Amino acid sequence: MPRCGCATCPSFGDLGQIHDPWVYLGWIAAHTQTIALATGSIVLPLRHPLHVAKAAASVDQLSAGRLVLGVASGDRPVEFPAFGVDIERRTLLFRDYFEVIHRVLELEYSMLESTAGVLTGNADLVPKPLGRLLMLVTGNSGQPLPGIAGHADGWITYPRGIERQAEAVARWRGEVQAASPGVFKPFVQSLYVDLTDNAHLPPTPIHLGFRAGRHFLLRFLDAPCAVGVNHVILNFKYGARPASEVFEVLLEGLAVAATVDAIDLACGLDGLGLVMDDEAGDTVLQQLGYRSAAVGTHPPRLARPTTSSPPWKAAPLQRQDGQLKLAAAMGSDVVATEAWRRLSHTAVKSAPASSACEAWA
């Protein structure tokens, strides 16, 4: 954790959570059954890609295919010398390690060369994930947007003014269409929220978000929905209320809303990821699965799930226009969000040798 408040240290002011993310994900997976689990994000240049791949595949296996792997290049300069990594190389390392992880998870007995090492085809990484493990890039991670659109399964970015966010969504959709015509890749944004006791309190700005009452938050979500944002990660780390209490307040507000415009799936908002920064019982977590039941032409209403089959177990990868899922996890390094339908994993016995660092331009 970087120190804060002195002339030589960056003032990040956000320790996040203190546990190792892979150990933490194992604990969360053992205490939950249906929520999706996502990292937000694993800093690839500071970890060996084979270790990341094995840990991710292990969590995916042990959680019955619930992992979504968010990755980033890192933004804390103080961390890189601690690991003996040149921060000036993080862009290259991120791209290189991303491709290594992708190849060893998708292929069997890969042959590749990377800055992390060499695989000659006589060893394989096990286990493999249950399906195609979705990998989302956080921020730009030093990569051009066309490269992210072509290689990643989605993009996690930051809140912006609604007009600028609409432009970012349109740019993302265009790049995805150019790179992978007909393939859906979600646009995800974060949002810091301090939900107050006064449900009617108007908003005041905080870092990358706002402090407000419940009614404004639910109305506010109309805006990203309308411009095509698919997932909103709500982070309560700056909030004064316990996260479990905030969950209950939001669930009550969603369940009794006359029209659920704030989460109208027709607008494209498929799910909310809720980040918990304090401990809450599994009972709370199990309450957070809902499906959308549209009646006639009215906006969709929320209803309890009618099936025990996790929605992300189906293939191929596509939008779940008929479902809304609220998911939660404990800790702000581990973000839970709706999982998208998986591509079925097809094992390939071998692949020709190649450089893992392919062009992302």
Give the pLDDT mean for 81-102: 96
Percent of all residues in the chain with a pLDDT value above 70, rounded to a whole number: 65
Q: Is the pLDDT of residue 315 over 50?
A: no
Instruction: Look at residue 17 in the predicted model and tell me its pLDDT.
Output: 63
Of the two residues 23 and 5, the one the predictor is more confident about is 23
**Overall pTM > 0.75:** no
Q: What is the pLDDT of residues 145-156, one digit of tens each?
A: 999 999 999 999
Percent of all residues in the chain with a pLDDT value above 90, rounded to a whole number: 50
Residue 29 lies in a domain: yes
Residue 145 lies in a domain: yes
Q: What's the burial of 180, exposed, middle or buried (CB within 10 Å: 0-12/13-18/19+)? A: middle
Q: Is the pLDDT of residue 7 over 70?
A: no
CA distance 20 to 189: 24
Instruction: Look at residue 13 in the predicted model and tell me its pLDDT.
Output: 56
Residue 360 lies in a domain: no
Give the pLDDT mean for 319-336: 31
Of the two residues 273 and 16, the one the predictor is more confident about is 16
Three-state secondary-structure class, residue 42: strand
Q: Is the pLDDT of residue 311 over 70?
A: no
Task: For residue 15, name the pLDDT band (cuts at 50, 70, 90).
Answer: low
Instruction: Look at residue 50 in the predicted model and tell me its pLDDT.
Output: 97
Q: Is the pLDDT of residue 26 over 80?
A: yes
**Contact status, residue 70 vs residue 21, Cβ threshold 8 Å:** no
Structurally, how many domains does the chain consist of? 1
Of the two residues 156 and 11, the one the predictor is more confident about is 156
Q: Is the pLDDT of residue 312 over 90?
A: no
Q: What is the pLDDT of residues 176-189, one digit of tens each?
A: 999 999 999 999 99
Secondary structure letter of residue 44 according to DSSP: G
Residue 4 lies in a domain: no
Instruction: Look at residue 292 in the predicted model and tell me its pLDDT.
Output: 27
Instruction: Look at residue 254 in the predicted model and tell me its pLDDT.
Output: 67
Give the pLDDT mean for 121-144: 94
CA distance 324 to 167: 25
Q: Where are the alpha helices (DSSP H) in 36-144?
A: 49-62, 79-82, 90-106
Among 170, 169, 178, which Cα is nearest to 149's? Answer: 178
Residue 15 lies in a domain: no
Residue 240 lies in a domain: yes
Residue 10 lies in a domain: no
CA distance 122 to 109: 6
Q: What's the burial of 304, exposed, middle or buried (CB within 10 Å: 0-12/13-18/19+)? A: exposed
Instruction: Look at residue 303 in the predicted model and tell me its pLDDT.
Output: 28
Task: For residue 100, name the pLDDT band (cuts at 50, 70, 90).
Answer: very high
Q: Is the pLDDT of residue 55 over 90?
A: yes
Among 309, 347, 349, 328, which Cα is nearest to 65's? Answer: 309
Residue 140 lies in a domain: yes
Instruction: Look at residue 12 in the predicted model and tell me its pLDDT.
Output: 56
What token pair was written down for 75? 């933004």
Domain holding 348, by residue range, is: 21-355
Task: For residue 51, name the pLDDT band (cuts at 50, 70, 90).
Answer: very high
Q: What is the pLDDT of residues 113-130, one digit of tens each?
A: 999 999 999 999 999 999
Q: Is the pLDDT of residue 274 over 60?
A: no
Instruction: Look at residue 276 in the predicted model and tell me its pLDDT.
Output: 31
Q: For the domain that residue 160 is a member of, what is the CATH number?
A: 3.20.20.30
Q: Cβ contacts of residue 136 below 8 Å, gap of 6+? A: 38, 41, 68, 69, 70, 71, 152, 153, 154, 155, 156, 186, 188
Instruction: Look at residue 248 in the predicted model and tell me its pLDDT.
Output: 83
Q: Is the pLDDT of residue 332 over 50?
A: no
CA distance 327 to 348: 33
> Which amino acid belongs to residue 128?
K
